[in-house]
Structure 1
Amino acid sequence: MSHGLGVTEFLTANTPDVFVVLFAVLTQLGGLWFYFLALTAAYTLGEGLLPRAFLDRERVAYLVALALGAAALTATLKGLVAHPRPPTATVAAGADLVPEALRPLYERAATEDGFALPSGHATGATVIYGGVATVLAAGTRRQRYLRAGLVVAVVALSRLVLGVHYLGDVLAGVAVGAGYLLLVDRVAGRGARPELAFSVAGVVAALAVLVEGFGAESTAVLGAALGARLVWGAVGGDVRALDTTRTVGVLALAFSLPVFGGLFGATYALEPAAPLALLGGAVSVGGILVAPLIGSRLAGR
């Protein structure tokens, strides 16, 4: 059953392969791994990357909570709706244009399996880039939201060009993401109280586990939300007060990315049993939140 007015079918049939490859790259802007790396770097580097007047760690922690909530919300709704993907979702068009060594990576990037509605990429992009537009103090609010909207539109279009979603999937993702962002934004005071955003993400992740069962992905997100809530409650005040030099930020990133980032990636890739997935999610994201304090210790400050 299609609910896309033939848009996906038209785009997959008429888009040149070279543009399909381009959109397979652009679609990564809406991938959880991309958010994880970008937010880890922004959080650990702190004011070594951007002055506090533009973006502080408290608000980056809020963005981390938004990312977890978006992932959990997508898993919950996909499990409830159980709508199939287009037949083209498993076809990696343009693969012959990619060097053979990179072809397996490209095929993973350009194809999808599982349920389709709502689009996780469209949902996540709306929540994350909308969240960035909310908390980043750069330019006017209108400019920030226009830029965020452009990124969301590119990500949404990429899902159609790749043939992994119908139009209704991405529109639903944008609508769901916008609604979730408005709710959490109100609850968490526009990013001023990340602990409440982590709490909301934990509740939604618990719903995902109830709907899906103790699958590795939803259980890992639940562990991440709970671990982050506990850790931020314990060290959030110390992180807020920390004045980070670029050296401290680089040390924190150099330590946290391979250790905690590696654990996060392994948890998702290996899909361990539920207890290990819960623990892996909690330790990886909780560890990243405490990483600036570790970097400060390593720098002898």
Structure 2
Amino acid sequence: MRLEEQSAVVRDAVPAEYAEFVASVTELGGTTFLMLLLAVLFWCVDRRRSALVISYAVAGLALLLSLKAVFGLPRPSADAMLLPLEGEHEGYGFPSGHAFAATVVYGGLVSAFDRARDGRALAAAGALVVLVSLSRVALGVHYLGDVIVGVALGIGFLLAMNRLTRGEPTIGFAIALGLSIPAVVLVNGTSDVLLGLGGSIGGLLGSQRLPALPALRSRLEGAVLAGLGSGFVVLIKTVEPVVATVEPLLAVLYAMLLGGIFLAPVAVGRLEVAALESQRT
């Protein structure tokens, strides 16, 4: 089922000197990169559509962690790894989280931004999903069957969320919260499961403020938002190891992360107003 022999063929096809490049490709399906990408799109492009895909990502994370715990299938042996990667050999291997997340996020962006009939958008999203999926096999942290099932589950999950949310991010985060509760029970206190729980709470509260958020007024404001917002995300990631041993605090930190992403336009808008008022006086 997991296509071990075919996976070995993929691993053997990648020379060792390309290991670092493959490791960088795999980050395109990682939690940190995808969340930062969606945050920048939220700040600078379209808030409601981006918030909807963020809700898909958080809900999908909770669901996938539950599925991994239920199946309980290990990763390939450490000997299969193309290069040593911290934490990549821990946890369960089926289905692939990176393949699933890449499908949900990149496919979700195509869907949310009404580009499903755009061949170039579909091709770009598909290429990213394939590259991320194959990079997981080449690195030796998943079997080929793991990523195929991850992609298939991602497509099914995306279709279900499109139907259930009806384009409303708040509904997406409510679903995420419902999925994160069994994940907390099934998975023993990892940072990812607490990201699902805290992120769904922060997103649920923050998404209710979407109609009141000020519209993006200029490219300069977008650049300021992206700069300050990215700094906020980095700050949260810096604080994360400090509170990681206290699970409730880590969940609160992740709730602050999502809430901060949604409320950053308010903070920047107030800074602009204060700057204008100081110029007039």
Q: Under a length normalisation based on structure 1, what TM-score does the superposition of the two structures give?
A: 0.83
Deviation at 1:257, TM superposition (A): 2.0
- 252 and 70 in structure 1: CA distance in 2 versus 1, 3 angstrom threshold: same
135-144 vs 26-35, which moves further: 135-144
Deviation at 1:202, TM superposition (A): 1.3
Deviation at 1:133, TM superposition (A): 1.0
Map Cα deviations across residues 199-235 of structure 1 (whole Å, 9 max, x no partner): 11111111210211443331232011111101211x1
Q: What stretches of structure 1 of length at least 5 have no aligned partner?
A: 47-55, 96-106
Secondary structure of the residue that 1:84 maps to in structure 2? coil
6-15 vs 136-145, which moves further: 136-145
Deviation at 1:252, TM superposition (A): 2.4
Quote the residue 2:102 is aligned against.
125
Aligned residues: 274
Deviation at 1:5, TM superposition (A): 4.1
The alignment status of 1:165 with 2:164, answered yes or no, reads: no
The answer on whether the counterparts of 1:30 and 1:122 sit within 8 Å (CA) in structure 2 is: yes
Which among 171, 184, 202 is matched to residue 177 of structure 2? 202
Quote the residue 1:52 is aligned against.
none
20-29 vs 132-141, which moves further: 132-141
Q: What stretches of structure 2 of length at least 5 have no aligned partner?
A: 277-281
The answer on whether the counterparts of 1:220 and 1:279 sit within 8 Å (CA) in structure 2 is: no
Secondary structure of the residue that 1:182 maps to in structure 2? helix
Quote the residue 1:293 is aligned against.
266
The alignment status of 1:80 with 2:80, answered yes or no, reads: no
Partner amino acid, structure 1, of 2:96: S
140-149 vs 286-295, which moves further: 140-149
Q: Which contiguous aligned blocks of 4+ residues in structure 1 show a shift greater than 4 angstroms?
A: none
Aligned counterparts, 1:128-139, within 5 A: 128-137=105-114
- 22 and 285 in structure 1: CA distance in 2 versus 1, 3 angstrom threshold: same
Aligned counterparts, 1:152-231, within 5 A: 152-189=129-166, 192-231=167-206
Deviation at 1:139, TM superposition (A): 8.5
- 152 and 291 in structure 1: CA distance in 2 versus 1, 3 angstrom threshold: same
- 1:172, 1:39 → 2: CA distance? 24
270-279 vs 200-209, which moves further: 270-279
Deviation at 1:244, TM superposition (A): 2.8
- 58 and 193 in structure 1: CA distance in 2 versus 1, 3 angstrom threshold: same
Which among 120, 145, 151 is matched to residue 128 of structure 2? 151
- 90 and 264 in structure 1: CA distance in 2 versus 1, 3 angstrom threshold: farther
Deviation at 1:137, TM superposition (A): 4.7
The alignment status of 1:236 with 2:213, answered yes or no, reads: no
The alignment status of 1:57 with 2:63, answered yes or no, reads: no
The alignment status of 1:258 with 2:231, answered yes or no, reads: yes
Quote the residue 1:11 is aligned against.
10
Identical aligned pairs, as a percentage? 28
- 269 and 85 in structure 1: CA distance in 2 versus 1, 3 angstrom threshold: farther
